[in-house]
Structure 1
Amino acid sequence: MKLLIKGMVCDRCIYFLSEEFPKLGLKISEIRLGVVILKETDAIIIDEQVIRTMLQKSGFDLLYNKDQKIIELIKTAVEKGIDEQLESGKPVKFSAFISNELYKEYDSLSALFSSLEGLTLEKFIISKKIEKVIELLVYTDQSLSDIAYTLGYGSPAYLSNQLKKYTGFTSSHYKKIRRDKMAITTEIIT
């Protein structure tokens, strides 16, 4: 049984749900962003309401509406594109990437996204990239220049301005959070 799941956007979501489904007595055949495929078993009658309740308690939900499914696939494609940029170090042209992932014209996908989500697809992509920038600044020792290059920004200054615009904070704020975390870790170790 294939389940499309709303809100599943990162590896932590995959890990979390791979732990939760077995608690319901369900075996997972495959799990990836936005999708859980359950093994078919004769012994277990799968109750979608039980699954939905578990998912909703954890901030997820089952997708039924065709347009909602497309939105979730778009979000998954954006996450995949960002991950691909980080792995390859090469910029991704998101309009082409999303279009290729979903086998649909980007303009129609963008219009659908805007109409259902209340923000443009471009702003969503920027917000996801900014989330990744913050994560990298806080949890790695990468410089803003390295991050800007890896995520396809024209310059570190442009990324810095965008970070300030979207979060209200500069990169030095997030680097300070990292230093504070490191200091606490060092104190605990010694």
Structure 2
Amino acid sequence: MVKSELEKLGLTPLSIEIGEILIREDCINSVREQLIINLNSLGLAIIDDRKSQTIEKIKIIILDLVHHSEVVLKINLSNHISDQLNQNYHYLSNLFTEANEMTIEHYFIAQKIERAKELLIYNEHSLSEIAYQLNYSSVAHLSKQFKKVTGLTATSFKKIKRPKV
């Protein structure tokens, strides 16, 4: 999708990864405004400044952990993010919190609960399996965080969101 938009403008990306496209700067300057319009129509945006790029990278790391890992990270989140970005975690944490008005840890919990909600809606896993997959220490821990974030118990949420037959 993004690649085709780039090709329409005669741009050949050097690389395309989740959340990041590398294009030679001299190629993009002449079509920059049109590229911004085309990407906006897809719900995407160009992020130029380093701080915003770093914040997006943190979000991508967390989303990748929560949605694409078989079992969510069993090591320290702060160490993982710091290692992935090769930057001091205290700096990353302050940057993220300043921009999002929530800590990295709260964002991580919110994403885990969103993933739990998805899994509950699909009704393919028990609460115990979901707790294990999302690296909660127990079903009770997941349930407590679920209620704190959503205001509902997981069971109540499941009943509300279950497709009617």
Q: Give the TM-score range, shorter chain.
A: 0.7 to 0.9
Count of paired positions:
164
Instruction: Tell me if structure 1 keeps the 8 A contact 2:131–2:142.
Output: yes
User: What RMSD, in angstroms, separates the aligned Cα atoms of the two structures?
Assistant: 2.9
Task: Give the direction of change, closer, same or farther, for the CA distance of 1:159–1:62 in structure 2 (3 Å limit).
Answer: same
2:52 to 44, 54, 68: 68
Q: Does 1:58 align with 2:42?
A: yes
Q: Which structure has greater strand proportion?
A: 1
Alignment match, 1:155: 138
- Consecutive unaligned residues in structure 1, runs of 5 or more: 1-15, 184-190
What is the TM-score when the length of structure 2 is the normalising length? 0.81
Alignment partner of 2:114 out of 122, 125, 131: 131
Contact 2:14–2:23 under 8 Å retained in 1: yes
Q: What is residue 100 of structure 1 aligned with on the other side?
A: 83
| TM-score normalised by the chain length of structure 1 | 0.72
- The match for 1:142 is 125
Q: Which amino acid aligns with 2:51?
A: D
Which residue is equivalent to 1:32?
Answer: 17
The corresponding residue for 1:121 is: 104
Aligned runs of 1:159-170 on 2, under 5 Å?
159-170=142-153
Percent of paired sites with the same residue: 35
- 2:72 and 2:31 map into 1 onto residues whose CA distance is 43
- Give the match's secondary structure for 2:70: helix
Compute the displacement of 1:140 (Å). Answer: 4.8
